[in-house]
Chain A
Amino acid sequence: MNCNKAKVLMSAAIDEELTSKEEAELNQHLAMCPECRAYFQDAKKTKIIIKERIVRVKAPQNLVESIVRMTNITST
């Protein structure tokens, strides 16, 4: 496996979406390639940073209430 193919697999590996065969192939490549190992670590961090840095807000209370109310009205 070359480094380009390994990088494609790394993206899915981070999401735990590899088949066991792909995982074995990737691990084999990573064991031999320090550059890809470093890249893999950074790729994992990129995912974490997205999750951490994108601010999440709470839905406004009036919206929550209106939806709960809606289930009452629509149920008739």
Chain B
Amino acid sequence: MKENKPVLSAKEQLKQKEFQEEAVTHINSLYNYALHLTMNPSDAQDLVQETYLKAYKFFDSFERGTNCKAWLFKILKNNYINKFRKNAREPGKVDYDLIKDFYHTIKDVQRDTTETDSDFFHSLLHEEVYQALQSLPEEFREVIQLCDIEGFTYEEIANMVESPIGTVRSRLYRGRKLLRAKLEDYARNHGYNTDSGE
């Protein structure tokens, strides 16, 4: 496999190596985030590709020692807003068929480990949890995704969504409350009694 490989200066080689170690290593997380934003593998690929292109171009401005994954997520989010938001689905409107199809497409790729617990949380299907999450207003869904799935700190999330930490904290609380109510609905459908005081 012969390619027209340009000769890089030592400085460029170093940058390239650092970029691959610091940034490319987060590609799976970025791809998943892009998938959940666009719900379309092809758009997700484009989004991730453009994100990396921009990130590489501006890699010198990345503050060393800070969280590179958070930096990349912010670039991806901005790209998404510029590129897709204009013709995005109406806020609050959930296309359950689309979610179902999408989820079945990606579900076969990778499965979780065995689940042995038998309480109502564990009765929930992957698809139901996903639907419940997707049905939340975007401002809540976004912070839950960034916090619970991606593991960002409140400070990092606040920076990404350009809101104060207090707002992130309150959105997480309210979003989780809504999410829990939805999950309990699903659990009830599985025959679990979910009365727990609230």
Please report A residues at the B interface, Cβ cutoff 8 Å. Answer: 7-8, 11-12, 15, 17, 35, 38-39, 42-43, 45-60, 63-64, 66-76
**Cα of A27 to Cα of B183 in the assembled complex, Å:** 27
Set A11, A45, A63, A71: member contacting B48, Cβ < 8 A: A63
B32 contacts A57, C-beta separation under 8 Å: yes
15 contacts between A and B (CB under 8 A): A7-B177, A15-B154, A42-B196, A49-B122, A52-B115, A57-B110, A63-B49, A66-B49, A70-B53, A71-B16, A71-B20, A72-B5, A73-B6, A75-B15, A76-B6
Per DSSP, are chain A's interface residues mostly helix, strand or loop, or mixed?
A: helix
A58 contacts B30, C-beta separation under 8 Å: no
B112 contacts A55, C-beta separation under 8 Å: yes
Closest B residue to A43 by beta carbon equals B176
Q: Which 9 A-B pairs have the closest CB atoms?
A: A59-B31, A53-B129, A11-B173, A50-B148, A75-B12, A57-B109, A76-B6, A59-B27, A67-B52
**Cα of A63 to Cα of B109 in the assembled complex, Å:** 16
**Cα of A8 to Cα of B96 in the assembled complex, Å:** 30
Closest A residue to B132 by beta carbon equals A50
A45 contacts B121, C-beta separation under 8 Å: yes
Q: Which of B168-198 contact A (CB under 8 A)?
A: 169-170, 172-173, 176-177, 179-180, 183, 196-198
Given contacts A39-B196, A54-B149, contact A72 B106 (CB under 8 A): no
In the assembled complex, the CB of A69 is this many whole angstroms from the nearest CB of chain B, namely 8
B126 contacts A55, C-beta separation under 8 Å: yes
B179 contacts A46, C-beta separation under 8 Å: yes
Set A50, A64, A76: member contacting B24, Cβ < 8 A: A64
Closest A residue to B171 by beta carbon equals A11
In addition to A58-B31, A59-B28, A75-B8, 16 A-B residue pairs with Cβ atoms within 8 Å of each other are A7-B177, A8-B170, A43-B176, A45-B121, A46-B176, A46-B179, A49-B124, A50-B133, A52-B112, A53-B125, A53-B126, A54-B130, A55-B126, A57-B28, A60-B41, A67-B52
Given contacts A55-B126, A56-B28, A70-B56, contact A15 B20 (CB under 8 A): no
**Cα of A47 to Cα of B129 in the assembled complex, Å:** 11
Q: Which of B1-56 contact A (CB under 8 A)?
A: 3, 5-6, 8, 12-13, 15-16, 19-20, 24, 27-28, 30-32, 35, 41, 45, 48-49, 52-53, 56
